[in-house]
Amino acid sequence: MVSGAFFGVSIGLSARLVNSDSKLKAISTVLAGIMLGTIIGLPLAKIVSEYSNWQASFFLIVGLASISALLTYLALPDLSPEPPRPLRKELGAIFDVRLWWVFFTSFCIIGAVYAPFSYIVPILNQTSKIPQNSITFILFTYGGIMLIGNNLVAKMAAIHTKRTLVIGISFLVINLCIFALFHNCHWLAITCTLLLGLCGVSLNPAMVSRLMELPQGGRAFVNTLHASMITLGIMFGSFTAGILLSYGYSLTITIWLGAAIALVGLLTLKLSPALTISSR
């Protein structure tokens, strides 16, 4: 709940700290920081739990969060608060149909990624027969590629947001289909896993950029709601994949599910109305 609220507020705040030409770069920097935290945090928590008890990881989070809060207080300038809006007006913004087209596309992208990625360790280990110690290295490399993809997508989205998303989601569909068809091939399974970092979560800057094209896209409330839809996509992808596995399907069904969700997202994007008169 706390991280979800921070996600929306931090994006809105980063956009206010720079001029209009640098907004997307600022947002992509925030998103890169969130990704980097995920890359470092998971193995760090595992190391801490191995040398201490599991509670130590939570105390470490408290310490890091306290340092972050202090640095935020000391380093960020005082900004005038956003002009207050009546609750009716804030809620009225979400009845814009264009907003839900954007939300649903983001929902599908993240759901498509997390349907297989939630089970990526057993997929690589049990289906592709890759050793556990190699999987750890693969996931670290995946994180690094995800950061590269984040920066690449941010630069592309600054030129043409919708085209960037079309290319990215199309690549995601093709990559997942190849992964599902050739999961028994070691090098193809590894390649497809790494490419998932390039065309999956790394599409975040383009998703946010598309939201920012709407008049209400810069509001903290709308950004927080967008973050909630992304979180819902994670839950949907993982939960639906788990349901299918509980019915006895093989692990590759999660990859096919991801490809299907991504295809729905691509169709949603192609059919979506123009967000502005001169949409990028």
Q: Are 116 and 252 in contact (CB under 8 A)?
A: no
> How do residues 53-68 score in pLDDT, each as one tens digit?
777 878 888 898 899 8
> How do residues 121-135 score in pLDDT, each as one tens digit?
899 999 999 987 788
> How do residues 172-202 score in pLDDT, each as one tens digit?
999 999 999 999 999 999 999 999 988 888 8
Tokens representing 87 are 């609750």
- Helix then strand count (H, E) for the chain reads 12, 0
Which pLDDT score, from 0 to 100, does residue 46 have? 62
Q: How confident is the model at residue 278 (pLDDT cuts 50, 70, 90)?
A: very low
User: Looking at this protein, which amino acid is placed at residue 216?
Assistant: Q
> How do residues 17-47 score in pLDDT, each as one tens digit?
877 777 777 777 777 777 667 667 666 766 7
Q: Residue 4: pLDDT above 70? A: no
Q: Residue 279: pLDDT above 60? A: no
Q: Are 206 and 164 in contact (CB under 8 A)?
A: yes
Distance CA 111, CA 159 (A): 26
Which pLDDT score, from 0 to 100, does residue 261 have? 97
Distance CA 27, CA 189 (A): 32
Three-state DSSP class for residue 40 = helix
Which pLDDT score, from 0 to 100, does residue 38 have? 66
| Sequence ranges of the domains in the chain | 2-80+93-271
CATH number of the structural domain 2-80+93-271: 1.20.1250.20
pTM of the model: 0.82
Task: Kindly calculate the radius of gyration of the chain based on its CA atoms and give it in whole angstroms.
Answer: 19
Which pLDDT score, from 0 to 100, does residue 115 have? 95
| Out of 101-110, 218-227, 235-244, 261-270, least confident range | 218-227
Distance CA 11, CA 164 (A): 20
Distance CA 113, CA 151 (A): 18
User: Looking at this protein, which amino acid is placed at residue 139?
Assistant: L
